[in-house]
Copies of this chain bind each other. A is one copy, B any other.
Amino acid sequence: MATRRFEAPNDAALDALYEDIAHKDLQPLWELSGLLTPAPKVKAVPHRWRGKELRELGERAGELVPVDRGGDRRVLSLSNPGLGGVPYATSTLWGAVQYLGPGETAPAHRHTPAALRFVLEGEGVWTLVDGDPLHMSAGDLVLTPSWTWHEHHNPGDTSMTWFDALDLPLVEALDAVFFEPGQGRTVPSATAARSASERRFGGGPGLLPGGSTAPAPAHSPLLRYQWADTDRALTDQLAEAGSKAGRTGHAHVRFADPTNGRDVMPTMRCEMHRYLPGHTAPAERRTGSALVAVFRGTGAVELDGVPHALAPGDLIAIPSWTSVRVLADEPMDLFSVSDAPVLEALSLFRAETDAG
């Protein structure tokens, strides 16, 4: 009966219906397709940017472009070829290299998108976060969490380059971008070798200030993770015969909030990986995207089966559900930032290992 009702489709009536539907800012689901796909239909593509080229372009920009020109930052942002020209590395992450010349300053501002800096090379820039001066040197991770004031100073006589990551595309997709420029300069009279955040929360593993009753912020109160500690943690993992790292030749450390073990910021997970030649870590694909910066060593990464040679300073965009397999020619250290905390918080995280 129901079937009969539709035996003779009345095209005129149907056309009229569709017209009225469209006129009322509606759309008929049954005419739509590609909304619900068996697996994610990802626009961003796997891509690698060469560190050598990023450095060279940064230096040329340093020659030609004053840092305080629009945006107050001398930043080259990764523009994923699959995303149609927006300056985003993946659908949720912004990635960039920032270049600060001798004597230059990137003035203070704050914004709801959270940012982090991983120092690829060099030494001597101070990043002020809410007035707390953080010393930056190669291998350090520095956090500038959501809505914290931050500015960069290079008092030295050599330029410095670092990797910037932000959750800007995600925060924009959520229509939650707020920005505020800073007033004047907040340079402290003197800068200590260790920041206040390190003196309070960086005493050692599992050591927290006593009697602290301040409400926990949404981000780690430890704003700088020194390379020396990270390096030791990776070395320790590989040195332990019985451990998974010792067996596989793949060590990795997750940067965590020392007060609760959660990720350093609610939107981004930071990790450092060390792969030894011949390691046996399998190829894996995950929901959510990641950016990877090569800190030390050479090798390659296979993204959906396509190999990309890796050298220090290279940056890699890994879109959601891309198969990833790493090959190391020598011990290779990779810094990674991903939106995994977001996928996990929303119960949308999936991972599977495959043949790559």
Contacts and interface: CB of A to CB of B under 8 A. Distances in A.
A104 interface: yes
Nearest to A222: B206
A207 B253 contact: yes
B175 A91 contact: yes
A137 interface: no
A218 B266 CA distance: 18
B179 A207 contact: no
A90 B220 CA distance: 32
Contacts of A25: 47, 49, 78-81
A75 B175 contact: no
Interface string A210-224: 111000001110100
A87 B6 CA distance: 26
A95 B220 CA distance: 36
Interface of A: 1-3, 5-6, 9-10, 13-14, 17, 20-21, 24-33, 35-42, 44, 47, 49, 53-54, 57, 60-61, 63-66, 69-71, 73-81, 87, 91-92, 96, 101, 103-104, 109, 111-113, 146, 168, 170-171, 173-180, 194, 196, 198-212, 218-220, 222, 225-226, 228-230, 232-234, 236-237, 239-240, 242-243, 245, 251-261, 264, 266-267, 271, 273, 287-289, 319-321, 339, 342-343, 345-348, 350
Contact of A237 (B168, B199, B289): B199
Contacts of A259: 256, 261
Nearest to A86: B27
Contact of A28 (B9, B65, B200): B65
14 contacts: A29-B77, A36-B113, A37-B178, A38-B179, A39-B177, A176-B287, A194-B236, A199-B236, A201-B206, A203-B229, A207-B229, A210-B273, A266-B346, A266-B347
A206 B287 contact: no
Contacts of A320: 174-176
B173 A91 contact: yes
Contact of A35 (B9, B87, B230): B87
A202 B235 CA distance: 12
